[in-house]
Amino acid sequence: MKVVRSIAELRAALAGRRDDGVGLVPTMGALHEGHLSLVRAARAESGTVVMSIFVNPTQFDEPTDLAAYPRTEEADVARAAEAGVDIVFAPTAAEMYPRGFASTVSVSGVLTESLEGAQRGRAHFDGVATVVLKLLLAALPDTAYFGAKDAQQVAVVRRMVADLGVPVALRVCPTSRDVDGLARSSRNVRLSAEERARAVAVPRALDAVTDAVARGIRDSTVLVAIARDVLEAADTAVEYVAIVHPDSFESVAMIEGPALVALAVRLGDTRLIDNALLTPGGA
């Protein structure tokens, strides 16, 4: 496996390796099983697998969150090699945002202004869209792999790729979960033992909503209340619970087709997000 630090090195490493397809797994490091599940999907479909490791400063709305984000590059590189990654692209901030950098990719509308956009600020998704486009242009992959846990981020990237005609296929892989149902996240390591025990309320709230839809409940107001009851019983600080369209993230009042229940909570200093697809009638 090769580790490269610059876009020029990445393109040179990929020269002559494109005939069997290139798969890109974008990450911010602190690798866990969720990341490795994306690598396995890429490995099954691509002749060459590239993983990027870059903690993107422009998508953090809280300086303390950026400072506290785990950075474990040596361990990440070892795990990437073991998982079958061919090339790790680990640039510096100066490589991605050189002096004089003045361009931003911005997706407008409800998609970036609601939920995570409302909580973290519009600049969050501008940062996501900009860095993802830079990574796609750096690697020029045939396919890029993302996890379903970050559903709104994936929807933003999908919109950007479609609008700008970026020649890449997006693969969205199922959320990777621990045995108790909690979605795997690099931020989970910041939870205390007591907070970790309470965090299982997040997947339980999603399960409660999914079960309610299966029983025939379609009113989003009722479904949101069901989720909030579970979350508040575990003494989590609820930032939002919403039922939205999975592509546009516009609010859904009555579920008549596929919808998404999305939520965000805080436990101490740690912020967790999760979601579940709701398919009434098994559609």
Selecting from 3.30.160.20, 3.30.1300.10, 3.40.50.150, 1.10.10.10, what CATH number does the domain 186-275 have? 3.30.1300.10
The pLDDT of 195-218, averaged and rounded, is 97
* Segment 260-272, tens digit of pLDDT: 999 999 999 999 9
Predicted pLDDT of residue 146: 98
The CATH topology of domain 2-173 is: Rossmann fold (3.40.50)
Predicted pLDDT of residue 283: 47
Predicted pLDDT of residue 225: 98
Which residues in the chain are classed under CATH 3.40.50.620? 2-173
The pLDDT of 22-41, averaged and rounded, is 96
Q: Any binding-site annotation on 59?
A: yes
- Arithmetic mean of pLDDT over the chain: 96
Q: What is the share, in percent, of the chain residues with pLDDT greater than 70? A: 99
Q: Any binding-site annotation on 152?
A: no
Active site residues: 35
Task: Using the predicted structure, report yes or no on whether residue 172 has a pLDDT greater than 70.
Answer: yes
259: Cβ contacts below 8 Å, ≥ 6 apart: 220, 243, 244, 245, 246, 252, 277, 278
**Contact call for residues 224 and 207 (beta carbons, < 8 A):** no
**Contact call for residues 34 and 149 (beta carbons, < 8 A):** yes
194: Cβ contacts below 8 Å, ≥ 6 apart: none
Nearest to 217 by CA among 264, 242, 253: 253
Q: Any binding-site annotation on 187?
A: yes
The pLDDT of 32-55, averaged and rounded, is 97
**Contact call for residues 112 and 122 (beta carbons, < 8 A):** yes
Predicted pLDDT of residue 282: 56
Q: Any binding-site annotation on 239?
A: no
Give residue for tokens 């892989």: 173
* Segment 70-104, tens digit of pLDDT: 899 999 999 999 999 999 999 999 999 999 999 99
* Segment 211-242, tens digit of pLDDT: 999 999 999 999 999 999 999 999 999 999 99
Which residues in the chain are classed under CATH 3.30.1300.10? 186-275
Q: Any binding-site annotation on 46?
A: no
> Residue 282 — left, alpha, or beta (φ > 0 → left; ψ -120 to 50 → alpha)?
left
CA pair distance 210, 275, nearest whole angstrom: 11
